[in-house]
Amino acid sequence: MAIVELSKVSKKYGDVLALRDFNLTTGDGEFVVLVGPSGCGKTTTMRMIAGLETVTEGEIKIGGKNVVGMIPRERDVAMVFQNYALFPHLNVFGNLSFGLRLRKVPKEQVAEKVRSVAKVLDIEHLLERKPKELSGGERQRVALGRAIVREPKVFLMDEPLSNIDAKLRVEMRAEIIKLQRRLGVTTFYVTHDQVEALSMGDRIVVMSKGLVQQVGTPKELYNAPINRYVAGFIGSPSMNFMKGHLNGDGTVSAGENVRLVLPEIRAAAVARSGIEEVWIGIRPEHLVIERNPDSVTRNVIKGIVEVVEPQGGTTILQINIGQEKKIIAQINEQWGREAGEKLTLTVASELIHLFDPKTEQACS
């Protein structure tokens, strides 16, 4: 268990800057998720914490000790790899005990530790098997076990669930969280899947192009994205963006079919900043179908349904709101909507996000 501090960490490959000025201090036992598209620097960051990659600039501290320049062995961290990276020539026992044996832990103790970890992960019956004789899920457990058995200060997990099928992934997700809570070991978890990030992390670091976009709890990222990138990345389906014009009266409009009233505080803040054009952001799940279109005048979006995608419990609608613009709405209805239908949608004022088109930062 340890606090991990990264300060001004940068990484260059030749002239290419892979990571710039990464700052983060974890809590003790915190579950931190690094999320972003491929090439955003999340794996590089993790590999630098692991000691598999050198640090170009900055400092990494684990438990208060600067580990830059240390080999992985001295850092006392364990990593779970995307392709499991089990030792194919060793059986499960050999895989789990590898690190302990390198550390010259007495034999009886090794056997005892391996058995107890195998029991926790429910792989006791597999100890004699070779990795190639295991299913994907079982391999995943062995890889986790190998990380746990050494009782390291920090866990690093590099997309550990991306190679197993969807159903098992959800199960393993819950299991990893349970395990991490129980062991209380500070964990870094890399994923490109924002759903995984939202459901697992105590805190999430959203990254893009080698830069940290926002650090926050899942709730903060979802409700108050700091810029347009984070707003679009977090949430599924993705947030709708429309070019809008700020009117003097605290409303914002986009074309003739969209006219939205801003909450007073927001309107005042925007008015002070003096900008006129904005990006309006609305999450698809926040759009609601208005049953009495004639009686409502506030926050109305009118459009024609183009595509209907039933999801079972909910339905995703692609709606044409005129001027070649489309928005996505996720509504709490099952089947029954049809293409060509005219709809009036509304959204609560406090669920409207605004972004400065020049800086792409949120207006608040």
Partner 1 sequence: MDNLLWRNSKWASKLVAMVIVCLALCWVAIPFLWAIVNSIKSHSAIFRTGAFIPFLQFTPTLDPWKEVLGDPQTLNCLFSSTLVGVGTTVLVLLIGTPAAYSLARFEFKRMKSKDITLWFLTQRVLPPVVVLSPFYILLAELGLIDTWTGLILLYSTFNLAFCVVIMRDIFRDVSKEVEEAARMEGASLWQIFWMIALPLSLDGLIVTAFIVFAFCWNEALFASAVTSQHAATMPTLILASRSTRGVDFNSAAVNTILAIAPPVILSFFVQRYLARGLSFGAVKG
Q: Which residues in 8-27 are b (16+ Cβ under 10 Å) and which e?
A: ebbbeeeeebbbbebebebe
Task: State how far the Cα of 177 lies from the Cα of 32, in Å rounded to an integer.
Answer: 11
Interface positions, 86-105, toward partner 1 (CB under 8 A): 86-89, 98-99, 102-103
Piece in contact with partner 1 (CB under 8 A), picked from 13-21, 25-33, 85-93, 327-335: 85-93
CA distances from 75 to 78, 200, 320 (A): 9, 25, 55
Q: Are 146 and 104 in contact (CB under 8 A)?
A: no
Q: Does 82 bind partner 1 (CB under 8 A)?
A: yes
**Beta 4-13 vs 315-320: how paired, if at all?**
unpaired
The stretch near partner 1 (CB under 8 A) out of 66-74, 110-118, 261-269, 287-295 is 66-74
Q: In this chain, which of 12, 65, 73, 119 binds partner 1, going by CB under 8 A?
A: 73
* Shortest CB 80 distance to partner 1, Å: 9
Amino acid (1-letter code) at residue 356: D
Question: Least distance from C-beta 304 to partner 1, angstroms?
Answer: 51
Nearest to 35 by CA among 205, 252, 274, 226: 205
Report the candidate in 175, 90, 81, 101 with the shortest Cα–Cα distance to residue 134.
90
Query: Nearest approach, Cβ of 82 to partner 1 (angstroms)?
Result: 8
Binds partner 1 (CB under 8 A): choice among 3, 17, 52, 168 = 52
* Binding to partner 1 in span 143-202, by CB under 8 A: 146, 150
Q: Which is nearer to partner 1, 82 or 344 (CB)?
A: 82
10: DSSP letter: E
Alpha helices in 51-91 (DSSP H): 72-75
Q: Phi-psi category of 265—alpha, beta or left, where left has phi over 0 and alpha has psi -120 to 50? A: alpha
Among 19, 40, 79, 231, binds partner 1 (CB under 8 A): 79
Query: Tell me, what amino acid is at 252?
Result: V
CA atoms within 13 A on the CB side of 175: 17
Closer to partner 1 at the Cβ: 146 or 203?
146
- Residue 358 CA to residue 343 CA, distance in Å, equals 32
Q: Does 83 bind partner 1 (CB under 8 A)?
A: yes
Choose, by CB under 8 A, the member of 4, 46, 77, 363 that binds partner 1: 77
- Based on the shown chain and the rule CB under 8 A, indicate whether residue 50 belongs to the binding site for partner 1: yes
Smallest Cα–Cα separation from 305: which of 274, 328, 281, 287? 328
- State which residue, 88 or 312, has the beta carbon closest to partner 1: 88
| First vs last C-alpha separation in the chain | 38
Task: State the nearest-atom distance from the C-beta of 211 to partner 1, in Å.
Answer: 26
Among 14, 64, 71, 312, binds partner 1 (CB under 8 A): 71
Applying CB under 8 A, the site for partner 1 has a residue count of 23
The residue range among 82-90, 315-323, 324-332, 335-343 that interacts with partner 1, by the rule CB under 8 A, is 82-90
Q: Binding to partner 1 by residue 125, rule CB under 8 A?
A: no
Q: Which of 81, 130, 193, 316 binds partner 1 (CB under 8 A)?
A: 81
CB of 337 to partner 1, least distance (A): 47
Closest residue by Cα to residue 203 from 185, 191, 221? 221
**Least gap, CB of 46 to partner 1 (angstroms):** 11
> 3-class DSSP state for residue 242?
strand
Contacts with partner 1 by CB under 8 A lie at 50-52, 71-73, 77-79, 81-83, 85-89, 98-99, 102-103, 146, 150
